[in-house]
């Protein structure tokens, strides 16, 4: 006789994340924060707690844990998801939380010459992805989730699907990357032919596209532009398929390249995007154009790069100079 027991709470969280099409990293972060919230309150069930317990946990993170504001907000988002979407409980307004103090910080930016030095330390697909980050202002996950169909050689455009905030946008395709990307297309074609011959499951498709377009996952246009070198088991469906390039391996490659280039800055893959924006503003492009290319919702987010160049309100020349 099959058990009619209700799924465990964290399994319910995972199921709800998948219903709402959240990414696997987001699902893992939410589960981790909810687990920490429960352990903080000595394993009490969240349905037996309310706003005061949530406030106590978030305040502990800020006061004792001294976490960054973004970290505290991430924990709050996970807990709100638990109550609203999993338990169906509406929490009262959380006005008793001690907020983590947000300090104004300027992004780490490399000069054009420094970026070229780092790129010179990379090769193969890592060099190509890093060049796209700097050449088109893409976020790392936006780049490695690109599909073959998202690159338009005739219009020299890259279409970013479901970027931050779920928005689509277009950015430029650098001319110098056209031929390397055409060669990458051919590598994808070879991988795709091998996967079909080996009977692998089709590539992952977002939302309900897999059911709506039954054969799309087997089409070349839907394959990842930067596929992983080896197929792996999909953690959700359990089928063996080829996923995209591993982001952690790429991040390690960037860190190593920065060290080899002897760039004395805490640069990362995201620094390429910051450097893209700064370079465009440095060359005199309109900030609204830069905002559109970056996909920023608010132009104030883009304006931070004017401060990096000292072209904001503080961009004055010293009397001594």
Position 317 in a domain: no
Active-site hit among 164, 187, 241, 311: 164
Is 175 known to be catalytic?
no
Domain holding 221, by residue range, is 112-307
* Catalytic position from the list 139, 169, 242, 243: 139
Residues 150 and 242 in one domain: yes
pLDDT at position 2 over 80? no
pLDDT for residue 1: 41
For residue 97, give the H/E element and its range.
none
Q: Is 305 a catalytic residue?
A: yes
Which pLDDT score, from 0 to 100, does residue 319 have? 65
Kindly indicate the confidence band of residue 104, based on its pLDDT and cuts at 50, 70 and 90.
low
Query: What one-character-per-residue DSSP string does 250-292 give?
Result: HHHHHHHHHHHTT--S---HHHHHHHHHHHHHHTT--HHHHHH
CATH assignment at residue 164: 1.10.443.10
CATH at residue 74: 1.10.150.130
Per-residue pLDDT, averaged over 224-243, amounts to: 91
Of 41, 149, 255, 270, the catalytic one is: 270
Which residues sit opposite 169 in a β-bridge? 160
Q: What is the pLDDT of residue 247?
A: 93
**What is the reported pLDDT for 320?**
54
Mean of the per-residue pLDDT values for the chain? 89
- 45 belongs to the catalytic site: no
How many distinct structural domains can be found in the chain? 2
5 vs 88 pLDDT, higher one: 88
Q: Are 242 and 200 in contact (CB under 8 A)?
A: yes
* Helix residue spans in 208-268 (DSSP H): 209-212, 247-260
296 catalytic residue (yes or no): yes
DSSP SS3 for 244: strand
Q: Are residues 118 and 76 in the same domain?
A: no
Residues 131 and 259 in one domain: yes
Tell me the C-alpha distance between 160 and 145, whole Å.
Answer: 9
Q: Is the same domain home to 286 and 178? A: yes
Express each pLDDT in 138-193 by its tens digit: 999 999 999 999 999 999 999 999 888 778 999 999 999 999 999 999 999 999 99
User: 121 and 65 in one domain?
Assistant: no
For residues 79 and 141, state if they share a domain: no
> What is the CB-side half-sphere exposure of residue 170 using CA atoms within 13 A?
9
User: Would you call 181 helix, strand, or coil by DSSP?
Assistant: helix
């Amino acid at each position: 006789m099959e058990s009619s027991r209700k799924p465990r709470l964290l399994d319910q969280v995972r199921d709800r994340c998948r219903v709402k099409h959240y990414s696997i990293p987001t699902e893992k972060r939410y589960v981790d924060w909810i687990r920490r919230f429960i352990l903080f309150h000595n394993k009490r069930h969240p349905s037996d707690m309310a706003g005061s317990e949530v406030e106590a946990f978030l305040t502990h993170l800020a006061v004792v844990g001294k976490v960054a504001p973004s970290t505290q907000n991430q924990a709050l988002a996970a807990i709100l998801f638990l109550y609203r979407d999993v338990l169906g409980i509406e929490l009262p307004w959380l006005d008793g939380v001690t907020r983590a103090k947000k300090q104004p910080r300027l992004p780490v930016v490399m000069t054009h010459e420094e970026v070229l030095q780092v790129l010179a330390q990379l090769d193969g697909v890592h060099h190509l992805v890093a060049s796209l980050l700097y050449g088109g202002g893409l976020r790392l996950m936006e780049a490695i989730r690109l599909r073959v169909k998202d690159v338009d050689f005739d219009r020299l455009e890259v279409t970013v699907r479901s970027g931050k905030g779920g928005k689509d946008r277009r950015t430029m395709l650098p001319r110098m990357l056209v031929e390397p990307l055409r060669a990458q297309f051919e590598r994808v074609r070879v991988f795709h032919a091998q996967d079909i011959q080996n009977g692998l499951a089709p590539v992952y498709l977002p939302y309900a596209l897999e059911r709506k377009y039954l054969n799309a996952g087997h089409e070349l246009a839907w394959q990842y532009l930067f596929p992983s070198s080896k197929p792996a088991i999909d953690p959700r469906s359990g089928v063996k398929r080829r996923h995209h390039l591993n982001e952690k391996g790429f991040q390690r490659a960037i860190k190593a390249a920065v060290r080899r280039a002897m760039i004395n800055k805490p640069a990362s893959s995201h620094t390429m995007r910051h450097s893209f924006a700064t370079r465009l503003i440095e060359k005199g492009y309109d900030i609204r154009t830069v905002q559109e290319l970056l996909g920023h919702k608010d132009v104030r987010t883009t304006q931070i790069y004017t401060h990096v160049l000292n072209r904001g309100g503080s961009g004055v020349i010293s009397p001594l100079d």
